[in-house]
Homo-oligomer: A and B are copies of this chain.
Amino acid sequence: MASPATEPRAADSPLVDCDVHQAWSDPEAITDRLPKRYRKNRGYTLPGSAWSNPHGLNRRDAIPDDGGRPGSDPETLLEHHIERFDVDYCILTGAGIIEVGIAPDPQYATALARAYNEWLIEEWLAVDDRFLGSIVVPPQVPETAAELIDEFADHEQIVQVLLPDANASRKPYGRREFWPLYRAAAEYDLPVAIHPGTAGRGVSNPPTGAGYPSKYIEWHTVLPATYIGHLASLLTEGVFVEIPDLTFVCIEGGLAWIPHLLWRLDKNWRALRVQTPWLERPPSEYVEEHVRFTTQPIEEPKDPSHIRAIFEMISAETTVMFASDYPHWDNDSPTAGLPPLEDDQLRNVQYRTAAETYDLPSNAFGDR
């Protein structure tokens, strides 16, 4: 995890970890919370991955003492990650649940998401106030997603609405049919986030226009292409003009592709702005205000000056937030998986931008 492109954490800095995957130890935690009509089948059905990671998805040293799934025991997670690295807050993003967004049946997907959100609040957020939650909503029927947001958004440890990178409606997320979901999130001051893992699975599209990858290494490499598609859509459709309080978070999508997308889009906007009369400024300017990106998996070029250059291009000191992706196989350590920035910029990445994005109580960081 340490590499020439990463540097130790700014000394004595607080830390918000924007991507930690907690899991259920037994699927009954979810299925017991489903309406009766979905319980006959025992277990549940969500589209699995078609691409196999030869090392498995999780760190083996994150397996709890009871032998359960990594991330499934709150006490182990607290000890192994939160306390070890002195993490002030971690934003829980679940495991095997954003797949509701690539399920063919929207009603079943909604039932599973509701059960997950209840479990998240009862079994995790109640345990420790350093745990913050992302409620999962299937985007297939945005009006239903908005209702789910209404149900759970008032909980004070719920800080985000989580969508998959792919979506079963097979449409880019800027499309107007998704706006009711965004309006609901913005009303509760909750950012909407996408997280990768579902591209090319279930009823979603292939991860790029080139078609389905063969192997996990290829599949994992091209995941940001879906983010390019969603972000181009969000920016050109005018979501951030229409819903000015909306923040969108791209988790685990990488960073170094962003300059290309924004330069290309700004150049196209200068020539083709007749197609997007609702945009008042170059599209890239909406990104600085409305879009945030998380660090892991941080790119690690041989020459650290290259990643520093990318960070300058994307105004990283206000757009990028630290994430570990614990306990996944390629997670970045809070002491090493950080970009090589100056101390003050690094503090923004480590906690200030997250504190603002998620409206975290400033007193939590007051004495650091």
Contacts and interface: CB of A to CB of B under 8 A. Distances in A.
B199 A259 contact: no
A257 interface: yes
Interface in A163-217: 165-167, 169-175, 199-200, 204-217
A354 to B, nearest CB: 23
A256 interface: yes
A55 interface: yes
A246 to B, nearest CB: 18
Contacts of A256: 259-260, 263-264
Contacts of A8: none
B229 A225 contact: yes
A217 B276 contact: yes
Interface in A269-327: 269, 271-272, 274-276, 297, 299-301, 306, 309-310, 312-313
B236 A217 contact: yes
A217 B272 contact: yes
Contacts of A220: 268, 272
A263 B301 contact: yes
A172 B213 contact: yes
20 contacts: A53-B272, A170-B212, A172-B212, A172-B218, A175-B214, A205-B211, A207-B209, A208-B225, A214-B233, A215-B236, A215-B275, A221-B265, A222-B229, A225-B228, A256-B264, A260-B299, A267-B297, A267-B300, A309-B309, A309-B313
Interface of A: 53-55, 165-167, 169-175, 199-200, 204-218, 220-222, 224-226, 228-230, 232-233, 236-237, 254-257, 259-261, 263-265, 267-269, 271-272, 274-276, 297, 299-301, 306, 309-310, 312-313, 329-330
